Structure formats: structure tokens, C-alpha cells
């Protein structure tokens, strides 16, 4: 494939946008080549400015569960746009979308909309601190919860350690209140509770991690977290910005028996528009302004165009929950094909599927936490990614990201991707 126009566009963007991109992963720094600049999407395909067509297994990093330019969502958005882009005032569509979410999640009585997943998590943590009157929070290495200061931390050498900033510009006075534990390792969490001496406001976790590759939490681990939180008066927050309506109609909570105290959501509830949300019981949400003292606000929160897109998407999902069986079947067919293509040249690969989410690692052992993920062969992934891209297969441009199936992903597309995987692996080892 030719990428001349994209290469030129990237150079031009670099002059006026830091790194040439508005979100770091898009710069292709973890893989080979230059990022294609996208002109349009149609169904399960992307088209770049050079005229190349790609089968899209990223789907805008998750929200496009019905693919690009879904007719129902597109028509509802156009209708909403004709009424106005934003009002900064209440609309009935906010209530309608909130009602759809509350119906599906047992742990949510009320929900507050925001404009991003980062904002949803930041607000949920503030609410947890306000309710418990504690400062410390606990997160897991490898789980990404947005770029707010308290969550940009790196792990120390011990099992339980207070965080230090992983980015300049983040004060240590903030991250010192963030404890880090190891995903799927309950002993590391217990050590954090011992260190913090009853001062942990909340545990926040991706119950199905999607930002160190696809790494689900073990059910026994989640149950252990629930028990520890109950014993210590700590709130349990499930970050389902990525897994919500993707892993199942009810996200991780449609798979696990464990119920959190709070939930953060995003992606699918915006259907491609910038939307996030957080919810909890009515009692907990009553602590939030204007009912309670914990302040949170957003001028564009509940944007009517975004709310309309999300409502249309959710109604389509709830009217056909059997879609998730089809999603999982197609995702498994895809990664099984990748695994066989790798095995054909004696390269180890492990795979994972949860509903419409899939992941794979060039590794010879199961990946249970971030340390395991870091032992993945990233050089092999970079070569594989480039070979697949050159054959028209658009995969996430990092070995630590998750892939997605949409309703427009056909068996023929998956067959084409598997064929490309065999060709790519053969090319790498020719």
C-alpha cells in the first residue's frame, strides 16, 4: 500500500500539534510506519486519504459497536443537530439515556453524564473520597483510568507502595495518596490495606482490563476485593468505560457475580460522540451537587447530540441482546486464526475474548497482570502490525490495547484478516 499522502499529512500535523497527534497512541510510536490519516468510515471499513481500505478492528477504540455510519444512529444525530448542537440546559434525552442505563445495571440507581471517561473516573473518585472522608485510593498497575493527576502513577518495587508520578507536571502531593497493587493478586491488595491503616476511600479497577491488552480479572479475585472493601468501609469502583456494553450487554457485571458500589461508563453510550458517565446507588449519588456537598459540573455534560447517539445505540443493543453471542463467536474465530498463523512458524501466542472484545499477546504463557503483559514480544507485535496494515487490516497500534468486533464485521472480513495473518507471519520468517 502507498501512504504518501498520510506521510505528508503527518509531517504537516507535527508542525502544529505535539507529536502530530491529539492522543499519544495514535503516533504509532509502538509499531512501525506512519499512521494512516483517515478520510471516512463505512460499516466495518476505514478509508485513508491515500485511498487505502482497511478492515477496522479498532472501531474508534470501542464505541462504534454498530460500525461506522450506522443508519439509525446517523439519522438520529442529524435530527438532533437540526435542533441545535448544545444548550447548556436540561433535555429529556438525558433522562431517557439515564433510564436505559439504570435498567441494566443493578448497582446504579442514578447516573451523571460527563464528556469523557477520564472525567467520569475523576468525578467518581472525588465522590468516593467525599462519602468516605478518606484521601487514599487504590489502583492496579496496568489499568488505565484516564489522565487525571491522581491516576498517573507508576509502580514501586514492593507489592504495596504509594505511587510516584509517571508524568512531569503531576505533583507528588497528589499521587502519594494513590496506592498500587498487582492485578489478579489479592495478597498485594491486602498489603495495601495493611499499609494504609483504614484510610483507603476506594478501589478502582477495570474488571476486564483493556489497556494492558485484554486481561480479565479472575472471579475469585473480584470476590476478594468485594470482601476486603466491605470489611474496611472502602468503596469498590468498576471502571467499565471500555467493557461496558462491550463485554456483554451489562459489561463485566453481566459476567461476574460481584457488584461494585460505583460504575464508570463511556464509549458505547456515546456511539462515537464524546461521552462518559458515572453512577451508583441513590444514597451515594445524593452526596453529589446540587443535592450534596461534593462538587462536579460540566458545561457540555449531557450534550443533546451525544445523548441522542448513545440512546439510539443502547436501544438497538437492548432490543437484540443475542448479538453478543455472535460477537464472541466472530472474535474467537479471529484470534484462533491469528494463533494458528503464528503457530505455523513456531511463534507462541496467547489470546483472550470477552464478548465483542479480543486481545492477543506474542507470549508463551497466560497473561494475568501487567508484568506478564510486559513480557509480551513487542518487537514481534510491531512487525505483525505493519504486515497486517499493509494488507488492509487495521489493528490497534499497541500490543497493550484491545481489539473490537462490530455488527458490520462479517465472516468474510475475518477470513481475510486470518489470511493476512498467515501471509504476514510467513513474510516475517521467510
Which residues are annotated as catalytic?
Answer: 144, 239, 267
Contact 142, 212 (CB under 8 A): yes
Helix, strand or coil for residue 340? helix
Strand partners, 266: 276
Strands (DSSP E) found in 310-426? 350-354, 357-361, 393-394, 403-404
Tell the burial category of 61 from Cβ atoms under 10 Å away from its Cβ (0-12, 13-18, 19+).
middle
Question: What distance in Å separates the CA atoms of residue 50 and residue 40, rounded to the nearest whole number?
Answer: 11
Strand partners, 216: 208
Residue identified by cell 460481584 is 258
Question: What distance in Å separates the CA atoms of residue 395 and residue 398, rounded to the nearest whole number?
Answer: 9
Question: What distance in Å separates the CA atoms of residue 339 and residue 336, rounded to the nearest whole number?
Answer: 5
**Torsion sign, CA atoms 63, 360, 118, 217:** positive
Grid coordinates representing 288? 453529589
Amino acid at each position: 500500500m502507498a501512504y504518501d499522502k498520510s506521510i505528508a499529512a503527518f509531517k504537516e500535523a507535527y508542525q502544529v500539534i505535539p507529536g502530530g497527534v491529539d492522543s499519544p497512541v495514535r503516533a504509532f510510536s509502538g509499531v512501525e510506519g506512519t499512521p494512516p490519516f483517515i478520510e471516512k468510515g463505512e460499516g466495518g471499513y476505514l478509508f485513508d486519504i491515500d485511498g487505502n481500505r482497511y478492515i477496522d478492528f479498532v472501531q474508534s477504540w470501542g464505541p462504534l459497536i454498530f460500525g461506522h455510519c450506522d443508519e439509525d444512529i446517523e439519522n438520529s444525530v442529524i435530527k438532533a443537530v437540526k435542533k441545535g448542537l448544545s444548550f447548556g440546559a436540561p433535555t429529556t434525552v438525558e433522562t431517557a439515556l439515564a433510564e436505559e442505563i439504570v435498567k441494566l445495571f443493578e448497582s446504579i440507581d442514578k447516573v451523571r453524564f460527563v464528556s469523557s471517561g477520564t472525567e467520569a473516573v475523576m468525578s467518581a473518585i472525588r465522590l468516593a473520597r467525599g462519602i468516605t472522608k478518606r484521601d487514599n485510593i487504590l489502583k492496579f498497575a496496568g489499568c488505565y483510568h484516564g489522565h487525571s493527576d491522581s491516576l498517573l502513577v507508576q509502580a514501586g518495587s514492593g507489592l504495596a507502595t504509594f505511587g510516584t508520578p509517571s508524568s512531569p507536571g503531576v505533583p507528588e502531593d497528589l499521587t502519594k495518596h494513590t496506592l498500587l497493587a498487582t492485578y489478579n493478586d489479592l495478597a498485594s491488595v491486602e498489603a495495601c490495606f495493611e499499609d494504609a491503616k483504614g484510610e483507603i476511600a476506594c478501589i478502582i479497577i477495570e474488571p476486564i482490563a483493556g489497556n494492558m491488552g485484554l486481561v480479565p480479572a479472575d472471579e475469585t479475585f473480584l470476590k476478594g476485593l468485594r470482601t476486603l472493601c466491605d470489611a474496611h468501609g472502602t468503596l469498590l469502583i468498576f471502571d467499565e468505560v471500555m467493557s461496558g456494553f462491550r463485554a456483554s450487554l451489562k459489561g463485566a457485571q453481566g459476567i461476574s457475580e460481584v457488584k461494585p458500589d460505583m460504575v464508570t461508563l463511556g464509549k458505547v453510550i456515546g456511539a462515537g460522540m464524546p461521552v462518559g458517565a458515572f453512577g451508583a446507588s441513590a444514597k451515594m449519588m445524593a452526596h453529589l451537587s446540587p443535592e450534596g456537598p461534593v462538587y462536579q459540573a460540566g458545561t457540555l455534560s449531557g450534550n443533546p447530540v451525544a445523548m441522542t447517539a448513545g440512546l439510539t445505540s443502547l436501544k438497538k443493543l437492548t432490543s437484540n441482546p443475542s448479538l453478543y453471542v455472535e460477537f464472541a463467536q466472530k472474535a474467537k474465530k479471529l484470534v484462533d486464526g491469528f494463533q494458528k498463523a503464528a503457530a505455523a512458524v513456531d511463534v507462541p501466542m496467547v489470546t483472550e475474548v470477552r464478548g465483542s472484545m479480543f486481545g492477543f499477546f506474542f507470549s508463551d504463557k497466560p497473561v494475568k497482570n501487567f508484568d506478564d503483559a510486559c513480557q509480551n514480544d513487542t518487537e514481534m507485535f510491531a512487525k505483525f502490525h505493519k504486515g497486517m496494515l499493509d494488507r488492509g487490516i487495521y489493528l490497534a497500534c499497541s500490543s497493550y490495547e484491545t481489539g473490537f468486533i462490530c455488527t458490520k464485521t462479517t465472516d468474510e472480513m475475518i477470513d481475510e484478516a486470518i489470511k493476512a495473518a498467515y501471509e504476514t507471519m510467513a513474510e516475517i520468517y521467510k
